[in-house]
């Protein structure tokens, strides 16, 4: 939202037969119910008719004992008078408006202030990332929009509970800082703490940018079931996979839910590999599925390709992508 507004509604109507009267109106304090938050002053709008006489507009802020004259209004009809207070008033927490003048005719209906609301000032903040899911991921950049108000702020990300290299930032205006991960961090839960030597205004910690998200970790997985028409012969299958904590993953090939062939695929711990596995010519049937595991460690399977012949094409080998019924449902 570009701005917010605080306003007072008036019904002031002064009409004296050619005799000027002193008008002196002092409003209550405008703070938008956020007395401790700083605000960027934008525009003061006074809806009034001064009867062709000068009406002086003054503003008190929380820092002032003497008001600041911001403008003079002179109008002969009821209208909106817009006054730029971005430079005369600037960044404050509250305003109090005073209208003073010697007027013969005067009508006032509304006083309105448009402003930008800044964040609550903090000395410490902890951010827990949400929305990227429970998948293991590689993160490289994490943007932070903050005004440190001239104080040093220490930024410490953590990955799966392990603190990363800290970064000290400092600014005198709202500025975007990019925390750069320069090591190959690889985890599920990302968090960040900010601690300041003084107060700071935190506008946003954006979602981090990464380079890879792994499929969900499993210890027991399956692809299929896949129909190979009336009859199909399997020659081999290829699996792209990464495992953490182990090197051997058992598998079982089923046709019509009956075990046809079992074996293991060998992987390298913590390294992404593609494993090509041949199977005997006798492994054949109509409806196929392949189970991986169970294991005592987590593995992430990217895809499985099946090399097989379908019924009526005994001399024509095909590479058939295999997914689970769950994955098919998600893709729909």
User: pLDDT by residue for the chain (332 residues), tens digit each?
Assistant: 445 555 655 556 666 566 788 889 999 899 888 999 999 999 999 999 999 999 999 999 998 889 999 999 999 999 999 999 999 999 999 999 999 999 988 899 999 999 999 999 999 999 887 667 889 999 999 999 999 999 999 999 999 999 999 999 999 999 999 999 999 988 999 999 999 999 999 999 998 999 999 999 999 999 988 888 767 888 999 999 999 999 999 999 999 999 999 999 999 999 999 999 999 988 888 899 999 999 999 999 999 999 988 765 555 788 889 888 777 666 65
Q: Are residues 93 and 167 in the same domain?
A: no
Find out whether 58 and 98 touch, Cβ atoms under 8 Å: yes
Element (H, E) at 266: strand 258-266
- Nearest alpha-carbon partner for 227 in 326, 325, 331, 327: 325
CA distances from 54 to 12, 75, 100, 332 (A): 17, 8, 9, 70
Q: Are residues 100 and 24 in the same domain?
A: yes
Find out whether 239 and 304 touch, Cβ atoms under 8 Å: yes
Q: Which of 117, 144, 174 is the last residue of a domain?
A: 117
Q: Are residues 103 and 130 in the same domain?
A: no
Q: Are residues 281 and 300 in the same domain?
A: yes
For residue 311, the SS3 value is coil
- CATH classification of the domain holding 235: 2.60.60
Q: Which of 117, 152, 187 is the last residue of a domain?
A: 117
Q: Where are the beta strands (DSSP E) in 118-189?
A: 121-128, 137-147, 153-159, 162-163, 167-169, 175-180
Q: How many domains does the chain have?
A: 3
- CATH classification of the domain holding 164: 2.60.120
Q: Are residues 10 and 101 in the same domain?
A: yes
Q: Are residues 180 and 127 in the same domain?
A: yes
List, in sequence order, every residue forming a beta bridge with 12; answer none if it has no partner. 108
Whether the bond into 294 is cis, omega within 30 of 0: yes
Q: Are residues 9 and 49 in the same domain?
A: yes
Eight-class DSSP state of 256: T
Q: Which of 90, 117, 144 is the last residue of a domain?
A: 117
Q: Are residues 243 and 143 in the same domain?
A: no
pTM for this model (two decimals): 0.81
Q: Are residues 88 and 160 in the same domain?
A: no
**Which range of residues forms the domain containing residue 244?**
221-331
């Amino acid at each position: 939202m570009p701005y917010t507004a605080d306003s007072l509604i008036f019904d002031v109507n002064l009409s004296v037969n050619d005799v000027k009267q002193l008008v002196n109106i002092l409003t209550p304090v405008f703070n938008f119910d956020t007395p401790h938050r700083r605000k960027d002053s934008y525009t003061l709008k006074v809806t009034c008719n001064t009867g062709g006489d000068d009406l002086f507009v003054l503003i008190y802020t929380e820092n002032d004992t003497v008001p600041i004259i911001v403008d003079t209004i002179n109008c002969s009809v009821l209208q909106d008078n817009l006054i730029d207070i971005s430079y005369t008033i600037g960044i404050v927490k509250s305003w109090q408006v005073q209208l003073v003048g010697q007027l013969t005719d005067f009508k006032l209906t509304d006083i309105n202030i448009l402003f930008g609301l800044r964040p609550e000032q903090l000395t410490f903040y902890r951010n827990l990332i949400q929305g990227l899911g429970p998948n293991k991921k590689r993160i490289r950049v994490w943007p932070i929009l903050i005004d440190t108000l001239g104080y040093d702020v220490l930024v410490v990300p953590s990955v799966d509970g392990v603190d990363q290299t800290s970064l000290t930032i400092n600014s005198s205006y709202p500025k975007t800082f990019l925390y750069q991960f320069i090591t190959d961090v690889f985890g599920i839960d990302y968090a960040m703490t900010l601690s300041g030597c003084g107060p700071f205004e935190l506008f946003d910690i954006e979602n981090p940018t990464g380079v890879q998200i792994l499929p969900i970790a499993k210890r027991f997985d399956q692809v299929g079931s896949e129909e190979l028409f009336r009859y199909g012969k399997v020659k081999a299958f290829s699996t792209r996979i990464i495992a953490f904590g182990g090197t051997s993953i058992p598998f079982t090939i089923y046709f019509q839910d009956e075990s046809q062939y079992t074996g293991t695929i060998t992987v390298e711990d913590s390294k992404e590999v593609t494993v090509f596995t041949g199977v005997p010519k006798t492994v054949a049937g109509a409806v196929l599925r392949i189970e991986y595991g169970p294991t005592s460690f987590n593995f992430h399977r990217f895809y499985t390709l099946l090399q097989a012949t379908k019924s009526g094409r005994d001399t024509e080998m095909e590479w058939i992508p295999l997914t689970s019924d769950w994955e098919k449902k998600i893709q729909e």
